Amino acid sequence: MNIRFKNNRKSIRLENYDYSSAGAYFVTICSQIRDTNWFGTVTRDGMQLNEAGQMILKTWNEIPQFYPRIQIDTFIIMPDHIHGIIIIEPHQKPVGEDPRVLPAQANSIGNLAIGESGQTQGSVPTDVDVLSLSEVMQRFKSLTTNLYIRGVRDSGWESFEKRLWESSFHDSIIRDEVHFEKTKKYILENPRRWLEARGNL
């Protein structure tokens, strides 16, 4: 793993920090309403995803298909939040390609056509090679919100009021390999901590 690590302090956003720069980032996105099994349940065998959780997993796994500089690493879906590692690779413009044009694919993570309310807004060409972490996470939230609304309508998923996700997300910049491994461990141990906190172990 060839990553330029950065120093960090814990914050929703670091002031004056370029979140499109190369590095590894630990992100957490929480549902607007907590303590609800939106995406599945935790058992002693681990997290058991429902249909909504499977949709979240599929959408997360598709992120690298639409962003040339972004890779995904360890990821977990919990009943009311997600944790994951996003890696932004060093800037490299593809030879002979115009990075400003997004793939023309409806309902994709690389398409700005879907808003938080689930309303189609029209695709906007963007330089995908310099998108920030915030922009990628907002697109992820918008798409999953739209797909969740479709699940409520077509499959009877539990409905939500106003927003599926909180308006922002939490992040920290992974400093080095030791921090990277600790972050991976923290993510993977989430189901155990969830059960411990509720006295179910």
Distance set, CA 157 to CA 31, 147, 149, 173 (Å): 15, 11, 8, 34
Per-residue CA distances from 140 to 29, 52, 93, 148, 168 (Å) = 10, 14, 23, 12, 12
Average pLDDT over residues 136-164: 96
Average pLDDT, the chain: 80
pLDDT digits (tens, 9 = 90+) for 174-184: 989 999 999 99
Positive/negative CA dihedral, 16, 74, 78, 155: positive
| Interior angle at CA 64, CA 181 and CA 131, nearest 5 | 95
pLDDT tens per residue, range 43-99: 999 999 999 999 999 999 999 998 888 999 999 999 999 999 999 988 765 445 443
Q: Are the C-beta atoms of residues 192 and 43 closer than 8 Å to each other?
A: no
Whole-prediction pTM: 0.76
Place of tokens 């590095």: 23
161 or 91: which leads in pLDDT: 161
